[in-house]
Amino acid sequence: MSGLSLAEEVVLLSLDDETGRPVGRSGMAPDLALAGALLMELALAGRVDSDRERIWVADSTPTGDTLADAALTQLQAPDVPGDARGAILLLARESPAAREAILARLVEAGILRRLNDRVLWVFSDRRYPKAEDGQAEAEGARARLRRMLLAEEIPAPRDALLLGLARAAGLLPLIFTEAELEQVQGWLALVTRIESLNRSLGTAVAELRAGRLAG
């Protein structure tokens, strides 16, 4: 089992495996995926609960993780949306800052390197390639998801959530070839429906992503 949080693993999955550049545009899939990951982390810690219609704070005790606790505080604000879509949109507003904090944390842990380049000597090009000593942790989520799907393993609840979130946010093409994804569609649909949390948060992320792409 990985020692990284779901939010950290989602950020790693959102980086191009070769270049270390963030994939997608700010405010779309990566932001929604990170917001969903923070909610799932809080649910696994027993801080939030949900059903098909609502999501609510069940325990306001801090978790000890700075980013998760910031999300928990946001969810306790007056007039906070009581459904999964609203909660994800609320947390997604802070996703760019949360992602920068997670990237800094991963650099400090020796899992990623931070490279600041220039394109045409003018435009900043910041990349986060894997650090040599941190490759196993950086590639851990990809390796687990590939093994689970291609070998049709039943995932642990936490990995089922990560898989469902990666699917909803459109991150799976970064992990699998088109032929591999076509091969595992049936098993993927099955294992991402096991967890009720996947059915609420995963569906909300997918719907929000589809709406933004259409817009």
Could you give all domains of the chain from N- to C-terminal order, each with its CATH number? 6-214 (1.10.3630.10)
Residue type at position 51? D
**175 close to 146: Cβ distance less than 8 angstroms:** yes
Distance, C-alpha 52 to centroid of its chain: 21
Q: pTM of this prediction? A: 0.84
- In angstroms, the CA 59 to CA 63 distance is 10
Write down the residue that tokens 């088109």 correspond to. 178
Phi, psi torsion values for 115, nearest 5 degrees:
-120, 125
Q: Is residue 63 within 8 Å of 46, Cβ to Cβ?
A: no
Q: What is the pLDDT of residue 26?
A: 46
- pLDDT value of position 1: 45
Give the residue ranges of the chain where pLDDT is below 70. 1-2, 24-28, 117-124, 194-200, 211-215
